[in-house]
Structure 1
Amino acid sequence: MEPGDPSRVTDAELVAEVLDGDTERFGLLVDRYKNLVNSFIAARVAHAEVDDLAQDTFLRAFRMLATLREPAAFSSWLLGIAGHVCVDWHRSRRRLGSLDDEDAAEPDTAAVLNRTPPPAPDAAAEHQEATRLLLESLDRLPEAYRVTLVLKHMDGLSCQEIADRLGLAIGTVTSRLTRAYKLLRDRLQRLADTSRKP
C-alpha cells in the first residue's frame, strides 16, 4: 500500500490508524465522505446550515471514534451521527420558534421543506428505516465494490477518473459498478420481500 495513495486505504485501516494516535489520518475520512455528509444534511435542513452541521458531524465522529464497534461500517455510523445532528438542529429551531412565537418558517427552511409541514412521526420513522437499510446494504458490499460506488456517486467521479485513482482498467471499474448495483438491488429486494410477509 502506497502512503501517498489514500484511495487504496480502507475505512477500517484509517480508523485503526487514528485510534493508534495518527489523528491526521482522520482528514482522509473527512475528504472521503464530506460530499456524502453534505448531501445527507442538505436534504434535511436549511441550506445555510449545511456547512456548520457537517463540521459538527465530523467533530462528533472524531470525538466518538473509539465507540465505533465495526470500523468497516464507518460510513453508516457517520451518517447516523449526521442524522442526530440534524435532529438536534430541528429541536433547537423549535425551541427558538416557540420563544419568538413565530408562525412561519424562514424562507430558506420553507424551501427545503417544499413548503409542506414536517413529516408525521410514522413517515419520518419509515424514511429513517429506509435510509438505515440502504446504508446497511451498502456496508455489506465487498470493499472493492463499495469504494467504487462511493467514488462514483458520492465523489462524482467518472469511470475513467475512478480507474486512474484506483490504478485499475476502466473495464474493471465498469464491471465492479455493474456487480455492485446488482448485489445492492438484490439485497434491497430481499429486504422488501421480507417486510411484506405477514
Structure 2
Amino acid sequence: MFPEEMFAIVPDALDPATCDRLINGFAHEMDEGGLVQGQAATHIRRSKITWFNEEQEPVVCRRIVDLVADVNRNVFDFSLTEFAEDAQIACYAGDLRGHYDWHSDVGASDVARRRKLTMVIQLSEPDQYEGGQLQLNPAGHFIDAPMARGSAIFFPSFVLHRVAPTTAGLRYSLTQWVHGNPFR
C-alpha cells in the first residue's frame, strides 16, 4: 500500500445539524478520556469522551455503515466483519491543552487487536477552536486531516496519528472503528 492509499477523505459526511445534535446531545455525558490501558495518562491523552450506539442514534449509525461500506469498497478493500465497539465522541478543550499523543488504534485487548479501519468525523467548526489538528503519519510524513465541519477521514487503524494540543476553544470529533480478523 502506497502512502496516498493510506487514507480517504469524505467531505460533508455529516451535515451541520447532525453535528450540532451529536455535540449537544452527548456533551453532558462525557467522562475523562485520558485513560490509557485503564490508567490515567494525561501526558499521553487529555480529553473527555462518551459513546453512542444504534439505539441512541439510528440515523447516524446507518450513515456510518454506508460511509464505511463505500470507502472500504473503493479504497481499502479490507476484510471487515463488524462494528465491535460503539462510536465515540471526544472533546479536546483548549483550557486544558486537550490532546492525544502519537498512537495507533490497534491495541492489546481482543477487540482493539481486531480494529482494521478508523473513521474520524470533525463535529466542530474550525473557527471554534485553535490547535487540535488531527495528524496522520502513515509513511514518515505528516498528513493533516481536513478541519471542515462534517468531513470524515478514514485510515487503517495501524497508522500512527495524533490530535495536536488544542490551545483554545473546544474541538469535538466522532470516531468509529471497524473490525475484522487481525492483520497478518
* TM band (smaller chain): under 0.3
Question: Normalized against structure 1, the TM-score is what?
Answer: 0.25
Q: Which has the higher helix share?
A: 1
Larger RCO, structures 1/2 (Cα 8 Å, 6+ apart): 2
Q: Bigger radius of gyration, 1 or 2?
A: 1
Q: Which has the higher strand share?
A: 2
